[in-house]
Amino acid sequence: MTMPTAHIFLRLPILFIIFNLITTLIPSALCNDDARYTECRNTYDCGLLKNIIYPFWAANSRPQHCGREGYQLTCRDDQNTVIRIEDQDFLVLNISREVHTITIARVDLWDSPCPSRLVNTTLDYDRFAYVQAVRNLTLFYGCVPTNQSIANNFTCKIEGTQNDLAIYIDDSISSLTPGQNETFCPYNIRVPIMWTGVDRPPENYTVDVLKQVLKQGFRVEYYADWKLCGPCMLSNGTCGSNITTDSFLCFCGGQPYEETCPSSGDNSWSWKREVVVGAAAAAGIGILLCVIVCCIKSRKQTFMRTKSHQDLEVFIQNNGPLAVKRYKFSDIRKMTNSFKDKLGQGGYGDVYKGKLRDGCLVAVKVLNASKGNGEDFINEVASISRTSHVNVVTLLGYCFEGQKKALIYEFMPNGSLEKFIYKENSLKTTPHLELEKLFEIAIGIARGLEYLHRGCNIRILHFDKKPHNILLDDNFCPKISDFGLSKLCLKKESIMSMLDARGTIGYIAPEVFCRNFGGVSVKSDVYSYGMMILEVAGGRKNSDVQVSHTTDAFFPDWIYKHLEQGSSNLGLPNPMTQEENELARKMILVGLWCIQTKPSDRPSMSKVIEMLEGSIEALQIPPKPVLTTPIRTPAESESTTLSSLIC
In the chain, what are the helix, strand and coil shares in percent, each to the nearest 5? Answer: 35, 20, 40
Are 72 and 84 in contact by the 8 Å Cβ rule? The answer is yes
Name the E strands within 4-87.
Answer: 44-46, 49-52, 57-58, 72-76, 80-85
Is residue 266 part of the annotated active site? The answer reads no
Other C-beta atoms closer than 10 Å to the C-beta of 162 total: 8
| Catalytic entry in 170, 331, 376, 464 | 464
**DSSP conformational letter for 635:** -
CA distance 527 to 463: 10
What residues are designated binding site? 365
What residues are designated binding site for ATP? 365
CA distance 609 to 41: 44
**DSSP conformational letter for 53:** -
Distance (Å) of CA 582 to CA 94, 536, 556, 607, 610: 46, 14, 18, 19, 16
φ and ψ of 156, to 5 deg: -155, 120
Closest by CA position to 609, among listed 448, 470, 478 = 448
Are 615 and 459 in contact by the 8 Å Cβ rule? The answer is no
Are 613 and 468 in contact by the 8 Å Cβ rule? The answer is no
Are 278 and 271 in contact by the 8 Å Cβ rule? The answer is no
Peptide linkage before 556 cis (omega within 30 of 0): no
C-alpha torsion 470→609→618→593, nearest 10:
-50
Catalytic residues: 464
